[in-house]
Amino acid sequence: MRRRSLWADMDWLSVLLYALLVSVGWISIYAADFDGLRTGMFDLSTSHGKQILWVTVALVLAILIVIIDNKFYTTFAYLIYGLVMVMLVMIFFIGSEVKGNKSWFVLGGFSIQPSEFAKFATALAVAKYLSSQGANMKYWSTRFIVGAIILLPMMLILYQGDAGSALVFLSFVLVLYREGLSSWVLVGGGLFVALSLLSLAIDEKLYLVVGIVLATAVIIYLLRKHIRIAMLVGAIAVSSIGYIYAVSYFFGKLKPHQKDRIEVVLGKLEDKKGAGYNLDQSKIAIGSGGFSGKGFLNGTQTKGNFVPEQTTDFIFCTVGEEHGFIGTMIVLGLFMALLARIVYISERQRSKFTRLYGYGVASILFFHIIINIGMTIGLVPVIGIPLPFLSYGGSSILSFTILLFILLKLDSDRLAVLR
């Protein structure tokens, strides 16, 4: 067995991309936080000061992850998953409420959000299960078990009131797809999203229903030679109509502010000071950045506190306002490069476990990036989830660092072992 230096087979390109993203994040936090008074880099009363501390902790953690034998992750995948699930349950009893979500443990001056750690734990568990002997996506039993592994944390987190973090677990669909889940699920998922948006966007459901019925009639007529497929299309049409009414029924049950947020994105509500405020202001901040931005520390919207949560969920605004289109393209480019690199890394594994985990990492990161940036530029409803590596916050930076570095550790051993 080959025994090489711990670091020789590290994927340094990924580490570089990681370092760049964290740096961009810290600079943006510094700018968003800047008040002209507390300019010290290590001032712990500021967000940028605390972020340095968190990044330092994250780096120590990253080194630990690399030092630990990689058997640890495969061996204890279920245990880690189990522990995090226990934490998610315990939170109902001893958790603290922050911003309306009872999903935090407060320790000393710092608060930790277990749902952040549920992401890598679930990625480990899914990888462990699907790489185990006898698991295959073509069996219903496998589908059922892997579904349960994903849905358990999702439901627990949803029940805490943190819908944004719960939705992240939907991203595992991509992992399952890679492992053989039917393409119909992706198509169905797309149809599901499209129908959901349409049924919320169009007030008169009857038009939608009539449209579906007519389209289905035409398709069935064309497919009249293929009775089975025609019947399938008919069944899909019927369930679509049912789904439309179900969506509008549940939409009616939503709390007013939740409804408003959805309606703003759909363009049905144009109250610039109401629900659309966050969205509108962040779009203004980014849009006003122009090609090269207003310059470091010169963002007027961020200085005026017009954008809420500007160090956490809306950190991308600071990039867009102060560094313009160049800045946003650099950030998008870094993320795309990292995602592509992770897919590349995943595919070069001989270990199925590592490959599965790698896709889990890519999917989770992708979902976060799309939802967060999409929200700041007004393409997605306001869902409060952080932008990986850039957003301020200990739980966020630690969990994404753990997520990525476990993969890099597993990858660095790809030549040494075969599992």
Partner 1 sequence: MDIFKNRRFIILGIFASFFVVFALHLFYIQIIDDSYEALANQNVIRNVTVYPNRGLIYDRNGMLIVENDATYEIFVIPKQVKDIDTALFCQLLAIEPQYFIDQMTKAKNYSRYVPSSFLKNLSVEQYASFQEHLYMFPGFYGDIRLVRKYPQHSAAHVLGYTGEISQKKLDAQSYYKSGDYIGISGLEATYEPFLRGHKGSKLILVDKFNREQGSFKDGIYDTAAISGHNLTVTLDIELQVYAEQLMQNKRGCVVAIEPSTGEILVMVSAPSYDPNLLTGRQRGNNYVMLQKDTLKPLFNRAISGGSYPPGSTFKSIMALMGLQEGTLQPYDVYPCFGGFRLGSHTVGCHDHAQLTDLSSAIQHSCNAYFCYVFKNIIDQSKFATSDEALAKWDSYLYSFGLGNKLGVDIPGENSGHVPTPKYYNNIYQKGHWKSSTIISLAIGQGELGITPLQMANMTCAIANRGYYFTPHFVKFIENDTTNFVKHYSGKNKTKVEQRYFDEVVEGLYQTVQAGTGRIAQIEGYEVCGKTGTVENPHGKDHSAFITFAPKVNPRIVVLAFVENSGFGATYAAPIASLVMEKYLNDTIAANRLFLEKRMIETDLIHPKVISSNEAP
Binding region for partner 1 (CB under 8 A): 174, 177-180, 272-273, 281, 283-291, 300-301, 303-306, 320, 324-325, 328-329, 332, 335-336, 339-340, 343, 346-347, 359, 362, 366, 370, 373-374, 377, 379
Select 136 or 239, whichever has its Cβ closest to partner 1. Answer: 136
CA 412 – CA 388 distance, rounded (Å): 22
Amino acid in position 79: L
For the bound state, the minimum distance from the C-beta of residue 368 to partner 1, rounded and expressed in Å, comes to 12
Select 75 or 300, whichever has its Cβ closest to partner 1. Answer: 300
Select 158 or 191, whichever has its Cβ closest to partner 1. Answer: 191
For the bound state, the minimum distance from the C-beta of residue 305 to partner 1, rounded and expressed in Å, comes to 5
What residues have CB less than 8 Å from 208, skipping those under 6 apart? 198, 199, 202, 244
Question: What are the φ/ψ torsions at residue 41 (nearest 5 degrees)?
Answer: -65, -30
Q: Which of 412, 371, 343, 407 is nearest to 178 (CA)?
A: 343
What's the chain's Rg over C-alpha atoms?
23
DSSP string, 181-231: --HHHHHHHHHHHHHHHHHHH-S-HHHHHHHHHHHHHHHHHHTTT-HHHHH
Question: What are the φ/ψ torsions at residue 348 (nearest 5 degrees)?
Answer: -90, 5
Select 161 or 374, whichever has its Cβ closest to partner 1. Answer: 374
- For the record, the structure tokens of 266 come out as 């759909």
Select 275 or 398, whichever has its Cβ closest to partner 1. Answer: 275
Select 210 or 340, whichever has its Cβ closest to partner 1. Answer: 340
Select 314 or 335, whichever has its Cβ closest to partner 1. Answer: 335
For the bound state, the minimum distance from the C-beta of residue 342 to partner 1, rounded and expressed in Å, comes to 10
For the bound state, the minimum distance from the C-beta of residue 290 to partner 1, rounded and expressed in Å, comes to 6
DSSP bridge pairs for 111: 106
For the bound state, the minimum distance from the C-beta of residue 150 to partner 1, rounded and expressed in Å, comes to 17
- For the record, the structure tokens of 163 come out as 């819908």
Yes or no: say if 244 and 208 are a contact pair by the CB < 8 Å rule. Answer: yes
Q: Given strand 96-98, what is the order of strands in its sheet?
A: 96-98, 101-107, 110-112
